[in-house]
Amino acid sequence: MSRLALVPRPSSASLSATARLSQIRGFLSSSIRMDAVLESSEDKIRVLSRRQYEASGTLTPLTVLPSPLDEFRRWFIEAQSHVREPEIMSVSTATAAGIPSSRFVLLKEVDSRGFVFFTNYNSRKSRELDENPHAALALYWPEMHRQVRVVGRVERLTKAESEEYYRTRPLGSRIGAWASPQSSVVEEGELSKRFNEVKDMFAVKEDQLEADIPLPDFWGGWRVIPFEVEFWAGKPSRLHDRVRYTRELDSDAEWKIERIAP
Ligand SMILES: Cc1cc2nc3c(=O)[nH]c(=O)nc-3n(C[C@H](O)[C@H](O)[C@H](O)COP(=O)(O)O)c2cc1C
């Protein structure tokens, strides 16, 4: 399978919304609900609105490709035309003691080996991945009523692979990677001070548009090598379609493909 590399897109227009306590009118696209009705009291918010899910197409073990990475590629390419930022995914990690934590990151590459995102190797997520080298990913594409979930073992990308991606980042993001001690407590103003120090360290002038900033050795990619991948398509009456692929960790065997109950 060829590699799917995700290149930067123009920043999306910011969302606008007017909100009242009892009713929020939001918009994302015409295909999703226009009114989210809330019942709100002093100590509780109850979401009353209900959404019907109706993904197009059929999802069964017979309609999917033998490899979940190929199936994902098919879904992801389709999502590019329907979803604002389909590359946003949650990454869940856990400490050795099993305490979980989740956050969103950007999916940057997918190939037959797995799913890649980039981050600071000293961050909370990276420390947890060092302790417990497993992660769970989830992507939700509301405009398509689709969800994808992944569970796998993780490995760090090689320095050369991380460098290849790092070089494509805008100058500010490359400086930012050096400047931010991700997940650490910082003082007010410390980040901009550090940002300027990094610029000085690499002799970047105020209006300079490009500079050769090396990859920090505390920054790079993680690859999630799946042993379980689930494709979910929303259907009426909550009778959603779910197809799950599983196989032994690090095996080259064929994937077992099953339908599971919603
Ligand atoms: C849409 C979105 C995309 C993000 N993408 C990334 C990313 O690709 N890499 C990253 O390190 N943090 C990304 N973040 C920030 C993370 O959510 C998180 O705040 C940060 O990585 C620190 O997490 P940690 O302290 O659990 O390690 C993103 C946040 C959002 C909301």
What local confidence, expressed as pLDDT, does residue 250 receive?
87
Q: Name residue 142's amino acid.
A: P
What local confidence, expressed as pLDDT, does residue 29 receive?
41
123 lines ligand 1 (CB under 6 A): yes
Fold of 52-259: Pnp Oxidase; Chain A (2.30.110)
- Model confidence over 188-224: pLDDT tens digits? 999 999 999 999 999 998 888 899 999 999 999 999 9
* 119 Cα nearest atom in ligand 1: 11
d(CA 27, CA 113): 37
- Least reliable range by pLDDT among 10-14, 44-48, 134-138: 10-14
Kindly state the tokens that stand for 252.
């080259």
**Between residues 9 and 209, which one has the greater pLDDT?**
209
What local confidence, expressed as pLDDT, does residue 5 receive?
77
Closest CA to 159 of 228, 241, 212, 215: 215
Domain ranges of the chain: 18-51, 52-259
Residue 98 pLDDT > 80: yes
d(CA 135, CA 150): 8
* 183 Cα nearest atom in ligand 1: 25
What local confidence, expressed as pLDDT, does residue 169 receive?
96
What local confidence, expressed as pLDDT, does residue 3 receive?
75
Residue 119 pLDDT > 60: yes
Check if 244 is active-site: no
Q: pLDDT-derived band of residue 156, with 50, 70 and 90 as boundaries?
A: very high
208 lines ligand 1 (CB under 6 A): no
10 Å Cβ neighbour count for 116?
23
CA of 205 to the centre of ligand 1 (A): 28
What local confidence, expressed as pLDDT, does residue 59 receive?
97
Give the whole-number percent of the chain exceeding pLDDT 70.
88
Residue 20 pLDDT > 60: no
d(CA 166, CA 5): 13
* 104 Cα nearest atom in ligand 1: 17
Residue nearest to atom 28 of ligand 1 (CA): 105
Closest CA to 158 of 102, 79, 217: 217
Average pLDDT of the chain, as a whole number? 89
- Model confidence over 49-94: pLDDT tens digits? 888 999 999 999 999 999 999 999 999 999 999 999 999 999 999 9
What local confidence, expressed as pLDDT, does residue 26 receive?
36
CA of 128 to the centre of ligand 1 (A): 14
Residue nearest to atom 19 of ligand 1 (CA): 103
**Between residues 26 and 68, which one has the greater pLDDT?**
68
What local confidence, expressed as pLDDT, does residue 1 receive?
61
Q: pLDDT-derived band of residue 30, with 50, 70 and 90 as boundaries?
A: very low
Going along 122-237, which residue ranges are E strands? 134-141, 146-156, 219-233
CA of 252 to the centre of ligand 1 (A): 32
What local confidence, expressed as pLDDT, does residue 14 receive?
38
- Least reliable range by pLDDT among 30-34, 55-59, 162-166: 30-34
Give the whole-number percent of the chain exceeding pLDDT 90.
77
Question: pTM for the whole thing?
Answer: 0.88
Residue 33 pLDDT > 60: no
* Helix 190-201 with 171-179: angle, nearest 10 deg: 110
